[in-house]
Chain A
Amino acid sequence: TEFGLVLHGGAGSIYKGRFTAEEEKIYEDKIKEALNAGYEILKNNGTSIEAVTKVITILEDSPLFNAGKGAVLNSEGKVELDASIMSGKDLTVGAVARLSKIKNPILLANAVKDKSKHVFLIGDGAEIFAVEQGFEFVENEYFLTPEKLESFNKIKAEEKAKVQSSIQKNEEFKYG
């Protein structure tokens, strides 16, 4: 095989029966779109790094996956994003974590790899580096989707109920 690529879109909560045929088709179409975009780059003599960043950017921009738009929320109700990229040619690396305003974390990871003497930047430091590199910033709300917000609210409600139940049990124990 002269060239090729493989991708994943996560392995959490994916089981037969969870998705309707229509929903499966939506996922399949988006994955095919990403595969074809990467293929075009490789076919036209683009680099593996270019293919990887293009594919991941498409998946980050889609609300279907847990990356970029559509990512899950942390315990504070905010989206915090992480990404990394590595070249097998020269073992150069770029990684970023705790981003809250960068639209495409994989592109910032690639910039850390190519335009920084460092390997791994996090939080405010990573975002200041992004400003210097002219990156696109978005509000944290950009990443939120109604589905993820609903899951988050459900988890928080369950947590609250657990705490209340535990308080009640302690009181019963105390009186008992």
Chain B
Amino acid sequence: TVGCAALDKEGNLAAGTSTGGIMNKRYGRVGDSPIIGAGTYANNTTCAISATGQGEYFIRGVVAHDISSLMEYKGMNLKEASKKVINEKLKTLGGKGGIIAIDRYGNIADPFNTEGMFRGYILDDGTPVVKFYKED
């Protein structure tokens, strides 16, 4: 799966996700990537999110929207909200994976509960940062 979340100069957020799903998946199986609120979500009042991992768990946990809701209704910041959903809720459900997200202030979050996740970010200073593993 691949995904991207962006903040533009007008303050508008957007998120997108694209995938082939799971190897040897049953014909017709759909994961979280095209499900808005599960694998993809964006709202200018909170953040933009794209997820990757075991889609069934992200659908059951409504993971992307949950992060946005924690920010909107509970006043959590992006890092707190995304860590809570990935490290607590998704873990409780038994799902593996992670998310990348950016909020309206340009704060980044990339929590995951697997050994690694290909990820990177670039902010207005123009320096690209790429990471692979948990330790990075």
B20 engages A85 (CB within 8 Å): no
Q: Which residue of B lies closest to A105 (CB)?
A: B18
Q: Say whether, besides A31-B120, A120-B34, A47 and B114 are in contact (CB < 8 Å).
A: no
A95 engages B29 (CB within 8 Å): no
A81 engages B19 (CB within 8 Å): yes
- A residues within 8 A CB of B24? 72-75, 152, 155-156, 159
Interface majority SS on A: helix, strand, loop or mixed? mixed
> Roughly how many angstroms separate A18 CA and B39 CA in the complex, as a whole number?
26
Chain B 101-114: CB-based contact to A (< 8 A → 1; otherwise 0): 11001111010101
A86 engages B14 (CB within 8 Å): yes
B43 engages A52 (CB within 8 Å): no
Q: How many residues of A contact B (CB 8 A)?
A: 83
A residues at B contact (CB < 8 Å): 1-12, 14-16, 19, 24, 27-28, 31-32, 34-36, 38-39, 42-43, 45-49, 51-53, 55-56, 59-60, 65-68, 70-76, 78-89, 91, 93, 95-98, 105-106, 109-110, 119-120, 122, 143, 148, 151-152, 155-156, 159
